[in-house]
A and B are shown apart, each in its own frame.
Chain A
């Protein structure tokens, strides 16, 4: 699975959009981008995933560059409850028949403030 690079920490004011970047310059054609977050001392929670098109759900939006070498997770109106560590992961599509590992890096610690 391709390696990802994220900034170790970011701050965001409550009510503002939080834009979390992720670099995955070695991503290959059959790898998807996934985002999870982990609130302190809990299990990680899935947020969103995508291949090459931008994606949006009730939690966030995912913007993937045309060359797929980087992506941005957008929380449109951050709240204090969004304070967490956010992990960007690239993962081989499960149905390739190869082992479907899910490998986490160190993530970005997002602090939402009043």
Chain B
């Protein structure tokens, strides 16, 4: 089945450690996105990528880094510089450019930093 997969579903890390969240899609989508969601809040855009080897900062990029070496993959690294990393992280993908197909979301990774 085509879809977008995030792993792991739950992740625990000690404060000060970098951690990388995985996002893979087999939908042949060009664009991929990372969002952060805090309890009771909406989604906030961290980074997005329109094509391989290119990405742009979203609204809250500080303390995060990404790479887009393959079309199918868009990993997110939460660095030790991120002051409050505990959150629910969502990855999405969509066709770009052209057309108005919807964005497909993964099931999310819940990161807890202790």
Interface residues of A (CB under 8 A from B): 32, 34, 36, 41-46, 49, 85, 87, 93-95, 97, 99-107
Contacts and interface: CB of A to CB of B under 8 A. Distances in A.
Contacts of B44: 104
Interface of B: 31, 33, 35, 41-45, 48, 50, 56, 58-59, 88, 90, 92, 94-100, 102-108, 110
A28 to B, nearest CB: 16
A103 B103 CA distance: 12
Contact of B88 (A41, A100, A101, A106): A41
A101 B33 CA distance: 9
A44 B94 CA distance: 13
B103 A102 contact: yes
Contacts of A46: 102-104
A104 B31 contact: no
29 contacts: A41-B88, A41-B108, A41-B110, A42-B107, A43-B90, A43-B105, A45-B105, A46-B102, A85-B42, A87-B42, A94-B95, A94-B96, A94-B97, A94-B100, A95-B97, A97-B97, A99-B56, A100-B31, A100-B48, A100-B94, A100-B96, A101-B45, A102-B45, A102-B48, A102-B103, A104-B44, A104-B45, A106-B41, A106-B42
